[in-house]
Structure 1
């Protein structure tokens, strides 16, 4: 939805290296407010992951704003008691906008983001920096897992963190308490980080050659999935205190992930959470998804997680 709703418009606050924040009018105003005439002359194809986790491909040509009535019927499911607004080609519905127009707006926003992501990726590759985009819902234990990771890996290789939240610097302060350089990005009304925010943050953060950069995204299982930050891998953290059906409810997030960390497994004796079922759901969306069960409290599974990071860093350094 963030690819069409413009929720990132407004001010983003990124800390300076000395801790003082800078405000940036950040968003996509120059991209999606000029589509009223609906002129799309380029013949091109577009792929996106739909709400069901499937990849849809659409070809767009010379449509001059001709809205076809059937585009507005996708939200009416055949199951009684269900209104499905994500069945159309755009994967969402907005009152007054056709599916064709929504797709065009999405392409416009993502094209700008992807250009920044490409610059970020080139910079990281040149310096041999292994970059991970950590995503989860709020309360998954992502920050606690990250602080444990930074503490345990201190001295093995250089690390840095970009911390994303809508407000406050609480999590960045926790990261810095481990001795790791971190910069806070407050997204305001925005519910995810984007590649331009990462570009700005990296300019104020000491990212060393041959280091690991953790980007802790805003807690949200929806919007961060759609935005490439220039990372090497997307890592999803799902705690056992959440529903085991989360992968099917938020398919785009799990379909795009390279690693799933099942967190807080020390609590399993007190819960009815079915880990095997959750993993099976996730692998319906991404058959080769790597899964590691971890606990920041007991340390279970952390060495596997650390080995995975170390292997990724070694490859990044070897190919720079």
Structure 2
């Protein structure tokens, strides 16, 4: 049993090493990655579509990679925004890992991309433990899901840099208890910013773009402390960011940002030991290279044999 735990911890450690490397490489090309996590049906895709459309209208170079077990439906919807979009089909795997993300960014991510939105698989369990090299982790929950959602999924909410409540227009109809929800969030992630949105009415549309642009401009983001949750013992990169990730609420203008276009260099070789949360956005030159990175199981969730880690490689389908 101890051997299994150690092996799973090693798998997460390897993923975190890759995430630190990818984060640094994205920063060197002037790109910030935003990891979006939620349950299925939260309204994540609808909100992201609205945010991408707004970014395009404001001249912000954005791209989106969306992951799902099957169908290209989400990519088709997001592509209506006019932003570059790629669909990753995971063949049943319930989360993305850094090696998978790197593989699908290679040769695809436009060189002038300033914000990369990663719509993770609809799941608040498996994806929570995997750092994808993001600079901003956002967890979404709809008003229809109940006020105790953060208490049921403390790892996901406890590691969030920002929490968005979706379908705010339905709050009254479903008797959503806002105070109870905020109290639940505060128990697992004290001090994290919680914002209310509705893709249908337009309420709060643009706040995700504003927060992401603020991080791109070097603003500090909330530092999760994982108070009272089991995830505090994971030693995960998100539980102990560098000093650049201090508690704050970023309130930046969402106007277009004229960062110079650059080419990043995403190599697939060894995992760097650089600090995992160095979020400067320097402007380097280079290229995106694919690579074969070993990836395995979350030590907290059983997705298959712990010794084999034979996850199927995700397929990519781009909307026509």
Question: What's the TM-score once normalised by structure 1's chain length?
Answer: 0.66
1:148 corresponds to 2:20: no
Residue among 105, 112, 121 paired with 1:218: 121
Q: Determine which of 196, 218, 221 is the counterpart of 1:315.
A: 218
Asked which structure has the greater RCO (Cα within 8 Å, sep 6+), the reply is 2
Change (3 A) 1:170 1:260: same
1:185–1:197 Cα contact (<8 Å) kept: no
Q: For structure 1, which segment, 232-241 or 303-312, has the greater mean C-alpha deviation from structure 2 after superposition?
A: 303-312
| Residue aligning to 1:53 | none
CA distance in 2, matches of 1:210, 1:187: 24
The answer to whether the Cα contact below 8 Å between 1:262 and 1:291 also exists between their aligned partners in 2 is: yes
Distance 2:113 2:45 in 1: 23
2:238 aligned partner: none
Three-state SS of the structure 2 residue aligned to 1:183 is strand
> Offset of 1:116 from its aligned partner?
2.0
Report how many aligned residue pairs link the two structures: 222
Give me the whole-angstrom Cα distance separating, in 2, the residues matched to 1:124 and 1:185: 20
CA RMSD in angstroms, aligned pairs only: 1.6
What are the ranges of 5 or more consecutive residues in structure 2 without an aligned counterpart?
220-258, 260-279, 283-320
Residue matched to 2:94: 191
- Does the 8 A contact of 2:65 with 2:85 survive in 1? yes
Question: Which of these two proteins has the greater Rg computed from alpha carbons?
Answer: 1
Instruction: State the shift of 1:118 in Å.
Output: 2.0
Of 116, 129, 145, the residue aligned with 2:18 is 116
Kept in 1: contact 2:50–2:205 (CA 8 A) = no
Whether 1:238 aligns to 2:172 is no
* Structure 1 unaligned residues grouped into runs of 5+: 1-97
Q: Secondary structure in 2 aligned to 1:284?
A: helix
Return the structure number with greater strand share: 1
TM-score in terms of structure 2 length: 0.66
2:36 paired residue number: 134
Q: Is residue 190 of structure 2 the alignment partner of residue 295 of structure 1?
A: no
Matched, 1:253 2:156: yes
Quote the Cα distance in structure 1 between the aligned partners of 2:71 and 2:206. Answer: 31
